[in-house]
Structure 1
Amino acid sequence: MTVIDGPSGLTPDALSEIFQAPVTGVQWEKVGSGQIGACYRLRLEGAEGVPRRLVAKLAAEDEASRAFLGPAYRAEVSFYQDIAPTVAVRTPRCHYSALSEDNTTFVLLLEDLHPATQGDQIAGCTPQQAADAVTNLAGLHGPRWCDPTLLDLPWLSAVGEDDAATLSEVFAPAVETFTERFAGELDDRDVRTLRETAEAIAAWVTGRPERFGLVHGDYRLDNLIFPPAPERGVTAVDWQTLSLGHPLRDLAFFLGTGLEPGDRATHERSLVGAYHAALTGYGVDGYDLDECFDDYRFAALQGPLITVLGCAYGARTERGDRMFLTMTARSCAAIRDLGTLGLV
């Protein structure tokens, strides 16, 4: 399999070999910030059967960071190769995927979803968009719900007791760094909630193991692509954080960070209900709506966990800071409203 290392490798010859059809012209432009990987929008000319528009996702331009990012690259390529055909979540069609033996270089050639547009984590979303997103999320969780064969995939990791202890050791100082960075901008109640979350995170991350499945890990508006209104059918992207865990972590993360607290409180029962109804459509049984809502309450610590760690390890930007503050305020409010810490 041909692995392309950088946009200079997106040549007519290389793409002709991939598509087994003549590609006579390639134009590309970079899209996105490229902190974890680099994305390019391609326009192709060639024989019938050659896609005219594609998105190419490649390894980060900073070669020094690639060894650290290898597990993320392996997860995303493996998702498209091993998992996507077995679930019902809407994702871009993957035309081609390849990964180097050391996992530091990869290529994905994905469907260009234009004119659909990316969600905005800061602006939030409407209840209708949220309903579309949670129904799509059930398409990830439902088909492989508590599927023991997932445990046989060597690239798909679940958090054990040792991992939980390590996470606690990492997360607690990350919370203090986060609160220092945003001193004066964080509500005092949110600071307390973050610190209480840090104390509970080790027990939480391994909690309720009787229900497990695929976890996107970062299912939020910036990773969702919405079609132009009035069309429905949100598409999920960025599968580098895929893991095994409690599936409701994705649902709680999405609703807790994507909706303003008032909107979440008003609509969350109906949205959890829509998610649960979609789950049952995929054959999930013996799991009633009350249990589902209780798991949703329990899972809300995913919000500060991902937000704080994302802030700690991502490159700092003005939009990023606003996003992290917005997500923190929303998710901490959800934890308090739902009484999550009392369930851990």
Structure 2
Amino acid sequence: MNAHVVEDPSGLTPEWLSAALGAEVTAVSWERVGSGQIGACYRLTLEGGQGVPRRLVAKLAAEDPAARAFLGPAYRAEVSFYRDLAATVAARTPRCHYSALADDHTTFVLLLEDLSPAVQGDQIAGCTPGQAAGAVANLAGLHGPRWCDPTLLDLPWLSAVGEEDATTLGEVFGPAVDTFVERFADRLPAADVRTLRQVADRVAAWVVGRPERFGLVHGDYRLDNLLFAAPPEEGVTAVDWQTLSIGHPLRDLAFFLATGLRPEDRPVHERTLVETYHTALTRYGVDDYDLGECLEDYRFAAVQGPLITVLGCVYGTRTERGDTMFLTMTTRSCAAIRELGTLDLI
């Protein structure tokens, strides 16, 4: 039994869903959820026989056909994560009921567990230290089980950054910083401008630095991509796996804490949160990596903040909320880089 890829929600018929789920679906209704810049998400309400979930989230390709050609690698990464890796890690992710990817990678379908009433994080508002603790423990569940696992390099869809890629990144990031600084000239503090330009000078060396530790990197592990269970339930679920790669795992940790914690909370709580993450790592058998090494790698990895936010801002679809979010994330992460002495480690 094999359901084909559909390009829009009109294809999510009872017949198609029955084939995808292997159970009879008699009726379905859907509503659009999320902003849909990279893909389009729909909440489905289903009726049917035994084995049919009452609600699912369907994730499809972007509505703009012109955008799909550029997003093929992201679609391939997300579908492949659920197929090849989700069961091998301990991070909480939505259960995937069905996945399909077109041969040219420009269209895809994921039928995912609907985690409502879990609440999406708010990148602009930031999170509490308690919420951060749950998020970093979940992150250790992504990194720990496949820590320095050489078999990750055998997956054809999963890539690590090489020297040539690093050179290209250095050539691209400098002009992106110029565009970012120009866009926010009246809102970006001079100290942050200096930090961004210093990062641009070092980013090529940074991105291939410390190769002795590697693993799965979510790449965009931030509050907007996390769902927090509604009380009294506990737990954090990570979504949006389009940016998955191989790299230094601490990039995810530094990115999350530097951009997600409020400026007044990060300096007070970040060491404890790194310790929480490190303790969780040891539960997955990572026993040759001491806390001191983890703390220094955390400092080193903080460049992930401006790297992701500047590129996301400059090359993504511009929105009012997006501008506020990227500026907020950049100022938080630049402050972290200065306070942690990150650039001295590159």
Q: What band does the TM-score fall into relative to the shorter chain? A: over 0.9
**Residues 91-141 of structure 1, C-alpha deviation per residue, up to 9 Å, x if partnerless?**
000000010111111000000000001000000000000000000000000
Look up the SS of the partner of 1:262 in the other structure. Answer: coil
What aligned pairs does 1:119-198 form with structure 2 within 5 A after superposition?
A: 119-198=121-200
1:164-184 C-alpha deviation (Å, 9 max, x unpaired): 000011110000000000011
Q: 2:260 maps to which residue?
A: 258
The within-5 A match list for 1:249-328 is 249-328=251-330
- Matched residue, 2:218: 216
What does residue 46 of structure 2 align with?
44
1:40 aligns to what SS in structure 2?
A: strand
In the other structure, the counterpart of 1:30 is 32
Q: Which amino acid aligns with 2:261?
A: L
**CA positional deviation for 1:314:** 1.1
Taking the aligned partners of 1:314 and 1:229, their CA distance within structure 2 comes to 34
Distance 1:130 1:24 in 2: 42
Q: What is the percent sequence identity of the aligned residues?
A: 78
Counterparts of 1:182 and 1:151, CA distance in 2: 39
Find the counterpart in structure 2 of residue 73 from structure 1: 75
- 1:230: how far off? 3.8
Q: Which residue of 2 aligns with 1:242?
A: 244
Count of equivalent residues: 344
What residue is the counterpart of 1:95 in the other structure? 97
TM-fit CA distance, 1:270 = 0.5
Please state whether the residue corresponding to 2:47 is helix, strand or coil: strand
Q: 1:52 Cα shift?
A: 0.5
Query: Within 2, Cα distance between the matches of 1:331 and 1:146?
Result: 26
Task: Read off the aligned partner of 1:125 and give its amino acid letter.
Answer: C
* Aligned amino acid, residue 147 of structure 1: D
Unaligned runs of 5+ in 2: none
Residue 22 of structure 1 deviates from its aligned partner by: 1.4
2:228 to 211, 226, 229: 226
Aligned equivalents of 1:22, 1:267: Cα separation in 2 = 50
* Letter aligned with residue 100 of structure 1: A
| Aligned equivalents of 2:151, 2:19: Cα separation in 1 | 34
Who is 1:82 aligned against?
Answer: 84
CA distance, structure 2, for counterparts of residue 202 and residue 156 of structure 1: 20
Alpha-carbon displacement from aligned partner over 1:25-70 (angstroms, at most 9, x marks no partner): 1100111111100000000001111010000000000011111100
Secondary structure of the 2:106 match is coil
| Distance in structure 1 (CA, Å) of the matches to 2:232 and 2:21 | 34
Q: Distance in 1 between matches of 2:334 and 2:232?
A: 32
Q: CA deviation at 1:86?
A: 0.3
2:331 maps to which of 321, 326, 329: 329
Alpha-carbon separation, structure 2, partners of 1:194 and 1:105? 36
Q: Deviations over 1:227-254 (max 9, x none)?
A: 1134320000000000000000000000
Q: CA deviation at 1:3?
A: 1.1
Deviation of the 1:286 alpha carbon: 1.2
Taking only aligned residues, the RMSD between alpha carbons, in angstroms, comes to 0.6
TM-score (ref. length: structure 2) = 0.99
Measured after TM superposition, the shift of residue 262 of structure 1 is 2.3
SS at match of 2:70: helix
Q: Which one-letter code corresponds to 1:343 in the other structure? A: L
Instruction: Tell me, in whole angstroms, the C-alpha distance in 2 between the residues paired with 1:179 and 1:14.
Output: 48
Tell me the SS of whatever aligns to 2:221: coil
Task: After TM superposition, give the deviation of residue 318 of structure 1 in Å.
Answer: 0.8
User: What amino acid sits opposite 2:320 in the alignment?
Assistant: E
The equivalent residue for 1:9 is 11
CA distance in 2, matches of 1:315, 1:90: 29
- In structure 2, C-alpha distance between the alignment counterparts of 1:79 and 1:217, rounded to whole Å: 13
Output one character per residue of 1:277-301: Cα deviation in whole Å (capped at 9) or x when no partner. 0000000011100100000000000
Counterpart in 1 of 2:204? 202
Rounded to whole Å, the distance in 2 between the matches of 1:112 and 1:283 is 31
Query: Equivalents in 2 of 1:221, 1:228: separation in Å?
Result: 15
Distance 1:266 1:246 in 2: 25
Q: CA deviation at 1:261?
A: 2.4
C-alpha distance in 2, partners of 1:238/1:306?
A: 15
**Partner amino acid, structure 1, of 2:19:** E
- 2: CA distance, partners of 1:146 / 1:21: 40
